[in-house]
Amino acid sequence: MSPTPLALRLGIDLGGTKTEAIALDRLGGRELARRRVATARGSYDGTVATVKGLVEALEAELGAAGSVGIGIPGTVSPRSGLIKNANSTWLIGKPFDRDLAEALGRPVRLANDADCFALSEASDGAGAGAATLFGVILGTGVGGGIVVHGRLLAGPNAIAGEWGHNPLPGPTDDERPGPPCYCGKSGCIETFLSGPALARDHGGGLSGAEVAALAESGDPPAVAALARYQERLARALATVLNVLDPQVVVLGGGLSRIAALYETVPRLWGRYVFSDTVDTRLVPPVHGDSSGVRGAAWLWP
């Protein structure tokens, strides 16, 4: 609403425990400042105040104003304009973007955190310059976002890229019906490809990251669990490739640190992709854990 162009891109990542804010310079995307505070868990008004406080602090520190984008663990329902699917449950059913716009005196853009991850990596990360990118979160949950020509794909249901609750493609007999999922179905991709899923497949007691580390050291049960994981990831991504045919698939979330995925999965997915050759690149993220907050800053073109 300022008559002069805003000098900054401000991004906020609303996490379950921490809320992080970043200021990027508008043109180059260089990080100028960053702040992190505790999330006002359970308090809607407190969350609005936290975001307002972070924006004001960054703008005071840098002596300039910015556009504001926010990544949330949920999404804005296009039909109602209210937050849905948020595991920060105190946001559900609230007009969060409108309340923030009023508090900050400017329009605010919201997107879910997987979309922010994808946008960050497409803007100046592992998929910079790619015309089409699928960003995947392999963490506590499994999510995704799609960027086409530098912009997030946004559909009427605000679920573009949400592949985690599709059924695992081509299940074997022992993968059917699959583990129950919180969404109410069984055998969702998320129930096989999340960190907790890898941990459970190994037999429990270790985290997904620990199973991956054990596999690297050659421990046979961990090697077997990781092999099943890679085969399932290849199948699940192949169906995305068959629909979207992206130039780049970027992995994010805790399990994206498993280096073997980038070599093994492209060797496996060819069997399931409807093409004689597969030139889609599978790559690790450039910005790692910062992609959520950076992507939020990039929500304004």
Contact positions vs Zn ion (CB under 5 A): 165, 181, 183, 188
* Rounded CA separation 226/219 (Å): 11
Which CA distances in Å does 268 have to 192, 193, 228, 233, 286?
Answer: 17, 16, 11, 9, 24
Which CB atom, from 68 or from 168, has the smaller least distance to Zn ion? Answer: 168
* Rounded least distance, CB 21 to Zn ion, Å: 31
β-partners of residue 31 are 24
- In DSSP terms, 136 is beta-bridged to 144, 251
Query: Least distance (Å) from Zn ion to the CB of residue 185?
Result: 5
For residues 39 and 194, which CB has a smaller minimum distance to Zn ion in the complex?
194
Comparing CB distances to Zn ion, the nearer of 50 and 75 is 75
CA distance 112 to 134: 14
| Residue whose CB is less far from Zn ion, 98 or 185 | 185
Instruction: In angstroms, give the least distance from the CB of 12 to Zn ion.
Output: 28
| Min dist. Cβ of residue 159 to Zn ion (A) | 13
Residue/partner pairs of 35-40 with CB below 8 Å, 24 or more apart: 39/14, 39/15, 39/88
How far CA 133 is from CA of 6, 76, 240, in Å, comes to 28, 22, 11
Nearest to Zn ion of 165, 202 (CB atom): 165
How many Å apart are CA 133 and CA 144, to the nearest integer?
Answer: 10
Nearer to Zn ion, 165 or 287 (CB): 165
How many residues are there in the chain? 301
The least distance separating Zn ion from the CB of residue 141, rounded to whole angstroms, comes to 9
State the minimum distance, in angstroms, from the CB of residue 94 to Zn ion: 24
112: left (phi over 0), alpha (psi -120 to 50) or beta: beta
